Amino acid sequence: MTSFLKPENALKRAEELINVGQKQDALQTLHDLITSKRYRAWQKTLERIMFKYVELCVDMRKGRFAKDGLIQYRIICQQVNVSSLEEVIKHFMQLSTEKAEQARSQAQALEEALDVDDLEADKRPEDLMLSYVSGEKGKDRSDRETVTPWFKFLWETYRTVLEILRNNSKLEALYAMTAHRAFQFCKQYKRTTELRRLCEIIRNHLANLNKYRDQRDRPDLSAPESLQLYLDTRFEQLKIATELGLWQEAFRSVEDIHGLMCLVKKTPKPSLMVVYYVKLTEIFWISSSHLYHAYAWFKLFLLQKSFNKNLSQKDLQLIASSVVLAALSVPPHDRTHGASHLELEHEKERNLRMANLIGFNLETKPESREMLSRASLLAELASKGVMSCVTQEVKDIYHLLEHEFYPSDLALKALPLITKISKLGGKLSTASSVPEVQLAQYVPALERLATMRLLQQVSNVYQSMKIETLSGMIPFFDFAQVEKISVDAVKQKFVSMKVDHMKNAVIFSKKSLESDGLRDHLGNFAEQLNKARQMIYPPDGRPSKLGALLPTLTEVVAKEHKRLLARKSIIEKRKEEQERQLLEMEREEESKRLRLQKITEEAEQRRLATEYEQRKNQRILREIEERENEEAQALLQEAEKRIKKKGKKPIIEGDKITKQTLMELTLTEQLRERQEMEKKLQKLAKTMDYLERAKREEAAPLIEAAYQQRLVEERLLHEREQQQEVELSKQRHEGDLKEKERLVRMMGNKEVYQARVVSHRQAEFNRLRREREERISRILQSRRQEREKMRKLKYYLKLEEERQQKLREAEEARKREDAERKKKEEEERLRKLEEIAEKQRQRERELEEKEKQRREALLGRAAAEPAPPARPLESGSAAPAAAAAAAAAPTPGKYVPKFRRERTESAGAAPPPETDRWNSSSRPDGDRWRSDDRRTAFGSGGGSRSSSTWSSSRNAR
């Protein structure tokens, strides 16, 4: 970075670099100078440097460099010389626009130039190859290579300038001018995307302006000049958006205008409000919001009638007709029928929002809110006298579609009126702010309204109708379109009708059992019945232990949560308090610095203003003195001319005569002349009075004589006319008598013919009456037979149902008897089994008791007998064997297992000694086991026992 002692040296160095073709280095040199902190005081040289700097930026298309340099220059000259920044920015935009236009003209010249080698060839081979490869035409390539970069740079220039000037109150006019030029750029070159971005940029600038209200040099929207500039910018944005067909952006622009009006709480001029409502009507018509379109037209009519005094009666009539037709174009049915609660609330909020946009104040409370509707609009039109201003055709079609009842020919009566209305309209006079009114746009809506009104009236008169008849009554559409309209009307509960294509008929009906109202009624009735059943038979609910503990746990958790939230809020408040104190300290320091700076600036401005006022006052005094001298000379010359004309001697002497003296002399002369003129007029009036009196005295007898002569003439004329009338009456009477005599001879023929016609018609009437009575009797007989047949059929069906019912009841009774019998048999069987089991258990207890007694008897006898003598080993084997056999032998009344019985039967030798030990030690367990086994077999009284158990029981018996 090269540093210079003076800015002039940097400018000189940059020019040298430009002369040798090093524009980039020259631009960098100037950029370093502008962004350097060394040159922060404004001077005239810096302005010349900025001019050169922006020229280099434009030549090299360096938008970023231009933005940085302009921002730095704004900081330098913001408080000293803002007009210098304005001049630099204007020069920057002018250069960018010129370069873009120059590139566009060059591209057109290249396209139109005839620069070919062969005049017979349409295109060169290289052009054809390039077009086939790239898929572009020559103009597209030239635009992309030449025009598009400069247009991009121009667009970037507008964005840069708007960003620099967005918060500068001293350059509001330049900001508005830049915005207007950007809008014209978008309009001229059909740049819809750039227009959307531009609108968003301006919208964000206004939002930031309202967000940071404590900024220095912030524009004050409460000032009338600032508000007018911002409103003009928004209205230009609205116009360009509608011309380019960006209706969504146009609606957002309308919201911006309304928000700006609400922000400053001031209503713009009526001329701007007329443009506002004109654009609203276009937006609402494009979006098919016919109700809001009609309300916007109504507000436009009221504005034009109140503030435009130069509006002609024809233009007012056209505007009023458009208001009424727009109101009639609103569908007569409610489109929110059957909508959910959320949709209804959304519609109410949208209604309130649109009402605010079109200038109607509604209640903010939903329960007391007045809704915008077609009926309220028509009532408002009637109360405000709009109907008295419309054309006769519009008034007729309004009464026809809203108040008349013609079920058969409503559409036919409306057709000529709609045809006349379609031809009305055109451009209005220059006194009106509305450019053009075309009533033909309402013709489709009027045709749909006439169709729906006819369907509504026909449904009140007829129950059914042929499709061909209904199509003939509606000349606007074919039946397919009429069916679509009727579907929409039936959906919105406007008409109740059905189309039966098989019968080729349209059926008009009232509410049936399938309607929504009755369906809801039955559903509500079912819900109430369900609630009553729950009250009579409440459901059983067992309270849980956890549920008893949960309430206290919830309270504890809630208390703890509240305590934590309170602690958190205290901490946040402390932090906010500290931050606020720091912010206050910084703000106080900044305010002190700004106050000192402002005092210094104000003192300097007062001094400059005082000097300027002094110079201005001196200049004004000089101009006043010079003007008075000139006026004195002119008055002197005029007085001299007037005195010379009258032949009097001039009384004005001396060269130094003031204006006051001349004015006094002039006033004296004028007063004297006025007195002389009054004397002359009095004398002339007296003379004319005498002459007029003399004329009337002479004319009075002549007038009386003429009157008497006129009476005589009129009396003679009356008598002559009366005599002529009498003669004419006599002649007419004689002619009538002759005509009567001529026609009397045909009276007989007339009576004969009359009698023949009457008798023929009487016979025909009698014949038709007999045929009708016979047909009615046949129909009654057939209906009587049909009723008899139906009565018999119902009787047979009733008998059959009763028979089937009896059969079902007998079958159910038989099934119940079989079930009861089986149940009794099962209970009897179980009871018997239980008795058998009880007897068996009794026997076992007896057997066990006997066995116990026998065992005790054996033990007592063995203790009483002496021990036998010892025997030899050879012969001793027989005793144990006999004892074992005796022990193993079955005893009457005692259960012995099968394996032991088999062992006893097949044993040829004595068992080992362990057998006795086994029998003696485990018999109680074995007995227990046998007892448990038997209990298992006979337990619960219901099962079959094992074969071994039954065999052991039989053995025991």
CA distance 124 to 390: 66
- Nearest of 78, 77, 58, 80 to residue 67 by alpha carbon: 58
Q: Is 616 exposed, middle or buried (0-12, 13-18, 19+ CB in 10 A)?
A: exposed
Distance in angstroms (rounded) separating the CA atoms of residues 400 and 342: 37
Distance CA 323, CA 329 (A): 10
pLDDT of residue 460: 85
State the Cα–Cα distance between residues 484 and 894, nearest whole angstrom.
104
pLDDT digits (tens, 9 = 90+) for 590-643: 888 888 888 888 888 888 888 888 888 888 888 888 887 777 777 777 767 766
Return the half-sphere exposure (C-beta side, CA atoms, 13 A cut-off) of residue 482: 24
- Backbone φ and ψ for 508, nearest 5 degrees, come out as -100, 125
* pLDDT, position 771: 95
What six digits make up the tokens of 625? 């003195």
The letter for the amino acid at 146 is T
- Whether the CB-CB separation of 453 and 401 falls below 8 Å is answered with yes
**Tokens at residue 403, please?**
């108040």
Rounded Cα distance, 727 and 336, in Å: 80
In 3-state terms, what secondary structure has residue 867? Answer: coil
The sign of the CA dihedral 278, 284, 288, 290 is negative
Which helix H or strand E contains 910, and what residues bound it? none
654 φ, ψ (degrees, to nearest 5): 95, 155
Compute CA distances 200 → 154, 155, 193, 204, 233, whole Å. Answer: 18, 15, 11, 6, 13
**Beta bridge partners of residue 500, listed in sequence order:** 505
Bridge partners, 506 (sequence order)? 465, 499
Quick one: pLDDT at residue 120? 38
Q: Which residue type does 829 have?
A: R
Residues 6+ apart with CB under 8 A from 117: 124
pLDDT, residue 551, reads 60
421: nearest Cα among 448, 394, 384, 399:
394
Query: Is residue 499 within a helix (H) or strand (E), and if so which, with residue range?
Result: strand 497-500
Say what the pLDDT of residue 826 is.
93
Nearest alpha carbon to residue 431 among 305, 273, 295, 243:
305
Residue 120 half-sphere exposure toward CB, CA atoms < 13 A: 0
Distance in angstroms (rounded) separating the CA atoms of residues 217 and 209: 11
Name the CATH topology of 268-363+370-513. Answer: 1.25.40
Q: What is the model's pLDDT at position 876?
A: 42
Chain CA centroid to CA 632, Å: 74
Q: Say if CB 240 and CB 183 are below 8 A apart.
A: yes
Count Cβ atoms within 10 A of the Cβ of residue 501 and give its class: 0-12 exposed, 13-18 middle, 19 or more buried.
exposed
Using a cut of 0.75, tell me whether the model's pTM lies above it: no
pLDDT along the chain (957 residues), means of 10: 65 79 81 74 79 84 83 80 83 85 74 41 45 45 66 86 82 86 86 87 82 69 79 86 85 82 75 81 83 84 79 82 87 65 64 70 46 81 83 88 85 87 75 71 88 88 87 86 86 84 83 48 77 78 53 74 86 85 83 84 85 86 82 74 58 55 77 88 90 90 91 92 92 91 87 93 95 95 94 94 94 94 93 93 92 87 52 41 44 54 51 43 42 42 42 43
Determine which helix (DSSP H) or strand (DSSP E) holds 431, and give its type and residue range.
none
DSSP character at residue 650: P
Tokens coding 939: 């337990």
Q: Which of 471, 477, 464, 537 is nearest to 505 (CA)?
A: 464
67: amino acid identity, one letter: K
Looking at residue 123, its pLDDT comes to 45
